[in-house]
Every structure is written in structure tokens, then in C-alpha cells.
Amino acid sequence: MLGVGAVVLVGAAYGLLFADRTDYVGHFLAGAGATYWLLAVVVEAAPERRWPVVITVWVAVLLGVVTEATVFRLAEFDPVDLANQSLGAVLAGVGMLDARPYDRSSTVAAAAGLVLLVTGFFYAFA
């Protein structure tokens, strides 16, 4: 829950500082949301470990590179979009470093991930 709060806090900062660039906060929230989904599975599948969380974040970053270079590439491959979504992924990972399968972290991560992903897509493309 603390991690989700941090994502919302930084998302609000994006909204305030980049009022005209809603795609920035959109990429940030979508990056966090998608990573929360991956982490919800990983925490259940690889309990009592922390490095799988880190590796999952890096995998999410790489998936972001691939999607930015292909399906979401419009005018150019934008490093700022990549950075924004990767920062969301990192914050999601930090919040899940101490997560355990039996502490409802995965449930919270899955629910928050869905909301953040949908909200992120809305801001990125609306």
C-alpha cells in the first residue's frame, strides 16, 4: 500500500509539473501498473526472495523498450517516454521488495496495477 501511495504521489507531481503533457504521467502510471501485475505473479511464484523482484522490474523495463520501439513508436523512439514508464516500474518494485505471498501484497498489487494501467493508458492516449 505504501508503494501505491508513492506512485500516486509522484504521479500527482507529474500532473502538476507537466500539466500539458498528460502522456508523461500516462507512461509513468502505465509503467507502474504493468509492473505491479508482473510482481503480483512473481511474489506468489518466488516467495522469500528479493532479487526476483529486481529482475522482474528490469524485465518490465526491457518490455517497455520493445513496446516503445514497435507498437507505440509514432514520431520516434522517445527516451523520455521510456524513462517515465521505467521510473513507474522502479517505484512499483521498491514497494514490493518486502512483499510476501501471505500478506495480501499480491492482491493489492494486482488491483492497483489494473487501475494504474487503465489510468495510464487514458492519460497517455486521451
Partner 1 sequence: MPSREHGFVWAAIALAVTGVLFAALAAWTLVARSTIPAELDGTVTGIELRHEKHPGVDDVWMISVDDGDLRHVDTHVADLVDVGDAVEKSAWDTSLLVNGEPRPLSLSDDARAMLLLAPIIAVVVVSLTCATHVLSRPGRVDRTA
Residues that bind partner 1 in the complex, under the rule CB under 8 A? 2-3, 6, 9-10, 13-14, 17-18, 20-23, 47-54, 57-58, 61, 74-76, 78-80, 82-84, 86-87, 90-91, 93-95, 97-98, 100, 103, 124-125
Nearest approach, Cβ of 98 to partner 1 (angstroms)? Answer: 4
**Which residue number, 111 or 122, has a Cβ lying nearer to partner 1?**
122
**Which residue number, 37 or 81, has a Cβ lying nearer to partner 1?**
81
**Which residue number, 86 or 106, has a Cβ lying nearer to partner 1?**
86
Amino acid type, 105: S
Burial of 21 per CB tally in 10 Å (0-12, 13-18, 19+): middle
Nearest approach, Cβ of 2 to partner 1 (angstroms)? Answer: 6
Nearest approach, Cβ of 124 to partner 1 (angstroms)? Answer: 7
